[in-house]
Structure 1
Amino acid sequence: MQDRNNFTDIEDFLSNESFRRWVRFQVDDEKWEDWTLEDPQRAKLVEEARLWILAMNISENSVSKLEIERAIENTWNKINNKASKLAETAEDSSYFWKNNWVRSAAAVIVFGMLGSWFYQQNDFLSNSSPIYNELIAENLEGLVEQTNNSNKPQIINLSDGSSVLLQPNSKLSYPKIFIGKERKVYLSGEGFFEISKNPKKPFFVFANEIVTKVLGTSFRIRAYDNQPNIEIIVRTGKVKIISNNTVAKFNKDEIELLPNEALRFVRKNLEFNKITDITTDTTLSSSNNTIEKLSFNFSDTPVAQILKTIEQAYLVDIDFPIEKLKNCHLTTSLNDQPLPEKLKIICRSLGNNTSYEMNGNQITISSEGCD
């Protein structure tokens, strides 16, 4: 690593992973804060670089302007205290810092606007963590990247029959066809996964610092790169979680989660906190999405009602022949099934050349009615 005492440009700091981790996750292994406070002039350059990183990773839905201003003000208070001790011969150090604060406040506004523009343009620096990009760069399968820049979830169907409900401000990279003995996808943001069962071909979700391994189950991962925590909540089945070797092997043992259990990875302390009952955690219990609250067990239920439940869960639109299916009822369990499999089970149960087509969040079902 380049000697940071030789850093003279903002680009030197932006390209330094340790510096980015300190700014974004408050992980200060390299003692950046102490080093910064040693020299008021150095602090000026560090703060400008810090503002760049904050601006380029702002998410309007998760970080308010007030929170950013408070964080910057706290940092400047520390710098001011240190500077007052160091600048014994300065004629008017307070004037310098006040002027610099005005410049910094202006930089927040300008860089915030730049960050928002970068995000809208799907630029590398907007909503994409360095870890995520390092991971997909190492994959040799030829990945497809799906980014959700809308204000509602998007459904992604994978080649193995699995499905992912990708939340806004999130992205998923995956191969067109899974090859080899493993299935790997890469997430930055939040997604609800329903994985097609295949014991011979385990499924891995790489979400920044952590890796989730499954065989066939449903679970949610929340791994925004600008948030203090990563969370995994299991709805059905079983998952195993380890730390990502690409970043650091800070957790050597697998952590197993069962239904209604969760794991919170605290980035600041690199700690794994297991929650054995998500109802006891107000943050987790209040953040459940609609798909996690609905039951997919049906007993002599009208098909129209089943399709309505699917619409609510996945936020999709389903077009089907209402008159032909109005007298059709089904008894079935669609829990722990990806969306494509749910639709296939319904179509097979109805018979009479019933089939479906899916185009994004629009589903069309063709049928001649019940057998």
Structure 2
Amino acid sequence: MQKRNNYTEIEDFLSDESFQSWILFKIDENGWEEWTLENGQRAKLVENARLLLLAMKVPDSNLSSSDIHKALHTTWIKIEEKENQNHFIRNSRRFFQRPFITGIAASLLFCLISVWFYKDHFATDKVVTYKELIDENSEGLVEQTNNSNKSQIITLSDGSSVLLQPNSKLSYPKIFTGNERKVYLSGEGFFEISKNPKKPFYVYANEIVTKVVGTSFRVKAYSDQPNVEVLVRTGKVKVKPNNLVASKDDQEVVLLPNQALRFWRKDLKFNKITNITEDETLAHSVGNIEQLSFEFTDIPVSQIFETIEQAYLVDIDYPKNKLKDCHLTTSLSDQPLTEKLKIVCKSIGTNTSFEMNGNQIIINSDGCN
């Protein structure tokens, strides 16, 4: 791969099969990303080559209008430079003889102009699909799909929990590595995130990304609906367009408890709602988990379990006779489901534990301390 150190023209990169694999299929077996970042001038040349290669994928193109203009500008500059050289014809002949370049040379300019014209004159929205979001991620992901008629609980490796609604799916790594936690949603899910300030949590859904540290919130992002909704129950979240549609002028929108955001996909615009009770659609969509209180003062354990069942739509099996006289005072707000169960079991006694199997929870206990 040392030959790439001598690349000085965009066509050098376009004719390199390993470069094609890196850009088009995210396969970086030859360390292109690290090599690119070693030199600023090199990075600029690589970026220009990337834009031109992606332009060939017109139906799936993620290029913005500014990207198209930049790519066109770069192309014309190089053409003018060639025209000013006496060897332009000879160089062009050598260039067009390359097998891979032949197709690009014949259609590149047409593709660029077509995409630019379409975006400037016809396209009013930039739809981002769930598949595109997944393809942007290089780490192995697990996908959970809810094809049932009721919500499902997903527990992530960091202890965070997601209440996934019907006709929804979530992709996430088996174990969160690095300094970020990223998941990808299609549909609707209620998130309760384990606190970890050093490792922020990101939910990618359609055209937006929601960033949190530790909080509870709902994201509704169905592919066939015109908007995306984020509703915060506890804590604070930040929402912004994801990298596939973002521009340098885009700002983060901060949401606090009982605030929401509606992102209009067609116009790429945010509508912040400071009081969800004043929005009829949101007010009617609030579920049990967003309304029930998890602050308990001298409350029977049976009632606490009943509240958890109503919130998460789970079934809790526990020894009723052994726990009938147990009363607890505890706060379970802003905690994922598994953490709630840990706190309750610890409060009951050291001989109390729980098991989870999907939406079925079993409490094992010899009684209160």
Q: Do they superpose with TM above 0.5?
A: yes
Whole-angstrom distance in 1 between the partners of 2:180 and 2:134:
15
Instruction: Name whichever of 243-252 and 301-310 sits farther off.
Output: 243-252
- Does residue 16 in structure 1 map to residue 59 in structure 2? yes
Whole-angstrom distance in 2 between the partners of 1:251 and 1:355:
51
Does the 8 Å contact 1:250/1:270 carry over to 2? Answer: no
Whole-angstrom distance in 1 between the partners of 2:268 and 2:365:
53
- Which 5+ residue runs of structure 2 have no aligned equivalent? 1-56, 63-117
Residues 240-319 of structure 1: matches in 2 within 5 Å? 240-249=238-247, 252-319=250-317
Does the 8 Å contact 1:319/1:365 carry over to 2? Answer: yes
- Does residue 189 in structure 1 map to residue 187 in structure 2? yes
Amino acid at match of 1:16: P
What is the aligned partner in structure 1 of residue 167 from structure 2?
169
Per-residue CA distance 1:49-90 (angstroms, 9 max, x = gap): xxxxxxxxxxxxxxxxxxxxxxxxxxxxxxxxxxxxxxxxxx
Quick one: percent identity of the two aligned structures?
70
Aligned length: 256
Structure having the higher Rg = 2
**Pick aligned residue for 2:354 from 340, 353, 356:** 356
Residues 4-43 of structure 1: matches in 2 within 5 Å? 16-17=59-60, 29=119, 31-32=121-122
Structure 2 SS opposite 1:213: strand
Whole-angstrom distance in 2 between the partners of 1:250 and 1:224:
26
What is the aligned partner in structure 1 of residue 13 from structure 2?
none
Per-residue CA distance 1:208-244 (angstroms, 9 max, x = gap): 1000000000000000011011000000000001101
Whole-angstrom distance in 2 between the partners of 1:277 and 1:138:
35
- Cα distance, 1:140 vs. partner? 2.3
- Cα distance, 1:130 vs. partner? 5.6
What is the aligned partner in structure 2 of residue 133 from structure 1?
131
Structure 2 SS opposite 1:324: helix
Per-residue CA distance 1:309-339 (angstroms, 9 max, x = gap): 0000000011000000000010011010000
Amino acid at match of 2:59: N
Structure 2 SS opposite 1:253: coil
Structure 1 SS opposite 2:307: helix
Does the 8 Å contact 1:193/1:220 carry over to 2? Answer: yes
Per-residue CA distance 1:97-131 (angstroms, 9 max, x = gap): xxxxxxxxxxxxxxxxxxxxxxxxxxxxxxxx862
- Which 5+ residue runs of structure 1 have no aligned equivalent? 1-13, 20-27, 34-128
What is the aligned partner in structure 1 of residue 216 from structure 2?
218
Structure 1 SS opposite 2:250: coil
Does the 8 Å contact 1:192/1:219 carry over to 2? Answer: yes
Does the 8 Å contact 1:352/1:369 carry over to 2? Answer: no
| Alpha-carbon distance change, 244 to 213 in structure 1, aligned in 2, over 3 angstroms | same
Amino acid at match of 1:237: G
Does the 8 Å contact 2:192/2:334 carry over to 1? Answer: yes
Amino acid at match of 1:162: S
- Cα distance, 1:136 vs. partner? 1.3
Per-residue CA distance 1:20-49 (angstroms, 9 max, x = gap): xxxxxxxx845459xxxxxxxxxxxxxxxx
Amino acid at match of 1:154: Q
What is the aligned partner in structure 2 of residue 53 from structure 1?
none
| Alpha-carbon distance change, 163 to 326 in structure 1, aligned in 2, over 3 angstroms | same
Whole-angstrom distance in 1 between the partners of 2:58 and 2:357:
40
Whole-angstrom distance in 2 between the partners of 1:271 and 1:140:
29
Root mean square deviation, CA, Å: 2.1
Whole-angstrom distance in 2 between the partners of 1:266 and 1:200:
31
Whole-angstrom distance in 2 between the partners of 1:223 and 1:171:
11
Does the 8 Å contact 2:188/2:221 carry over to 1? Answer: yes
Does the 8 Å contact 1:352/1:368 carry over to 2? Answer: no
Structure 2 SS opposite 1:16: helix
What is the aligned partner in structure 2 of residue 232 from structure 1?
230
- Cα distance, 1:353 vs. partner? 1.2
Structure 2 SS opposite 1:196: coil
Does the 8 Å contact 1:243/1:250 carry over to 2? Answer: no
What is the aligned partner in structure 2 of residue 144 from structure 1?
142
**Pick aligned residue for 2:155 from 154, 157, 160:** 157
- Does residue 365 in structure 1 map to residue 353 in structure 2? no
Per-residue CA distance 1:253-272 (angstroms, 9 max, x = gap): 11100001111001122110
Amino acid at match of 2:320: I
Amino acid at match of 2:352: T
Whole-angstrom distance in 1 between the partners of 2:226 and 2:61:
16
- Cα distance, 1:250 vs. partner? 7.7
TM-score relative to the length of structure 1: 0.66
